[in-house]
Amino acid sequence: MTKHIAAHLILLLSTVTIWSQESFHRSLKLMGSGFQITVVVEDSLEANRVIDLAVEEITRIEKLISSWDPDSETSEINSNAGIKPVKVSQELYNLIERAKNISGLTDGAFDISYASMDKIWKFDGSMKKMPSNEEIESSVSKVGFQNIILNPEQTSVFLKEKGMKIGFGAIGKGYAADQAKALLEKNNVRAGIINASGDMNTWGSQPNGEEWTVAITNPLNKTKAAAILPITNGAVVTSGNYEKFVQFDGTRYSHIIDPRTGYPSSGILSVTVFAPKAELADALATSVFVMGIETGLNRINQLPKIECIIIDEKGSPHTSDNIEIDRK
């Protein structure tokens, strides 16, 4: 269930100054991806101060959830799989607990233990034939959120099966965006955007008083917006397969793998989810991709304050019940 956040959410920014405040932006690389931090403040000195705070927070979170850093809590959990529980910080415990809840909500379409999956699918052009059914089934033998055992009294995490791993590729940047936003709000930044490589979280409004707006492009025609939508104090995340895929016998297979079966998803080019938090939007965007159009939209329509736009492989949009597309 490798996660790729498509960079086709185009933020429409205004730079008009009002109330002696304006928007300031900084682009940089964090968590191995491109981030853009936008704040609405009085001057560049204050902008640099608060953006530095956001960068420190995102760097802290990367250290917490990294599976590449051998000294991280996440690495300690993975290295003790099948051996013993690992006591972790309350923050990481809560993140894993929420991830498990989303797994239950999506019937396993989202699963942070996808990191246990064997990498049998290649999306770099080198793959010439489909893996066998046996190889695919074996690739997910250690995947299963049910085998992530949480102990609230000890704030410990235990992976039951030796060789199991957890990873936060599908929610890590969304969580970082949420935490950076919360920190900036505590520091009296009245408006801004954390754009974590396409995982966007917004608050407040533009300097001219208008809402922040995103244009969602059709992957088959990137010069034309499929929808232009406002975002008010919430998050928007897109997951897409149009850049990484393989094709066999006329079927296009996405790099987003179903952690339950080991098979890539198909039939969808992109999924955009609007939610109160980027962490949740991140997880649901991947989940809908895996569940498919009908099941995915049905699940989204049951959730409060969540909306979704799906672009199918023919370029046609499908939306959840309460979303209105502005095609201007």
Does domain 73-159 match CATH 1.10.3980.10?
A: yes
Arithmetic mean of pLDDT, 282-287: 95
CATH 3.10.520.10 domain locations along the chain = 9-61+171-319
Arithmetic mean of pLDDT, 269-285: 95
Q: How many angstroms separate the CA atoms of 72 and 76, rounded? A: 6
- Concatenate the DSSP letters of all residues of 240-290 into one string: E-SSSEEEETTEEEES-B-TTTSPBP-SEEEEEEEESSHHHHHHHHHHHHH
Q: Give residue-wise pLDDT tens across range 312-327.
A: 988 888 999 987 665 4
- Which tokens hold the place of 246? 């393989």
Quick one: pLDDT at residue 16? 43
Q: How many angstroms separate the Cα of 5 from the Cα of each of 226, 237, 240, 253, 294?
A: 17, 7, 6, 17, 22
Q: Give residue-wise pLDDT tens across range 108-149.
A: 999 999 998 877 877 777 788 888 889 888 889 999 999 999
Confidence of residue 272 (pLDDT cuts 50, 70, 90): very high
Percent of the chain at pLDDT exceeding 70: 90
CATH 1.10.3980.10 domain locations along the chain = 73-159
**Superfamily designation of domain 9-61+171-319:** ApbE-like domains (3.10.520.10)
Please compute, for residue 140, the number of CA atoms within 13 A of its CA located in the half-sphere on the CB side: 20
